[in-house]
Amino acid sequence: MFEAMAPHQLQNRDIVSFLKETRFSGGFFDTLKIRYRTYICPFIDLIQKVKPGDKVGDVGCGSGQFLLLLSQFADNPKSLYGIEISQHLIANAHKLFSKNNRVKSEFETFDGIHFPGSLKDCDLIYLIDVLHHVPKENQKQFLTDLCTLMKPGARLVLKDINKSSPLVLFNKMHDLIFAGEIGNEWKMQDVKSLLEQNDMKILENYKRRMYVYPHYTIVVQKN
């Protein structure tokens, strides 16, 4: 059994070692992303956003990798809830959690437009590298609808790729290889403005580059 540790002690090698021990196999690219994405995405920073007793939601949870990391390394979340448009990825999530579940969890598919009502119960919602995959004409409404659904006092952690950096081109190549599409990234300031227009209070916002990937993270709370 892999031993839990305090979030401030966590390092990427610990995450990779834990994920390797899950013995998950869901195809080459899915397995590759599950095991090694932590080296190019600031998972450790994101894990530290959880407070004890939080009911946590993950919009666009993929194969459930990040929620599994929360179950192992976050500070005592009460429950985990993931939604994803791909039934294949939801099946991966159930498989991933089948032998590694330390926290009550639930996964379901959604159509990418209408958010399940269960998100209303969440104290903390993650949106990690999802916004730039939403069709360009739907992005504003997508984020507005998510903010509207959230309960007062709930927090949203939005992590995405910063359009204002010339390094955004590397993410576009990444998405073309792994997702078969070109993303529609936003500038961090534009996302902040839209969140504030939707009754959200900015708690944190910062940029961080990992290798050639220009990330930004915004943490907001519903007024």
Residue 221 and residue 154 in contact, taking contact as beta carbons nearer than 8 Å: yes
Q: Domain extents for the chain?
A: 8-222
Distance between terminal CA atoms of the chain?
A: 41
Which CATH code is given to the segment(s) 8-222?
3.40.50.150
Token code pair at residue 150? 């959230």
Q: Provide the 10 A C-beta neighbour count for residue 130.
A: 21
pLDDT digit string (tens) for 3-44? 445 555 899 999 989 988 887 666 676 777 777 889 999 999
Strands (E) in the chain, as ranges, are 55-59, 79-84, 104-109, 124-128, 155-161, 200-210, 213-222
pLDDT digit string (tens) for 112-149? 999 999 999 999 999 999 999 999 999 999 999 999 99
Q: Would you say residue 160 has pLDDT above 80?
A: yes
Residue 19 has what pLDDT? 85
Report the range of poorest mean pLDDT among 59-73, 94-108, 117-131.
Answer: 94-108
The mean pLDDT of 152-160, rounded to a whole number, is 98
The mean pLDDT of 107-114, rounded to a whole number, is 96
pLDDT digit string (tens) for 165-201? 999 999 999 888 878 889 999 999 999 999 999 999 9
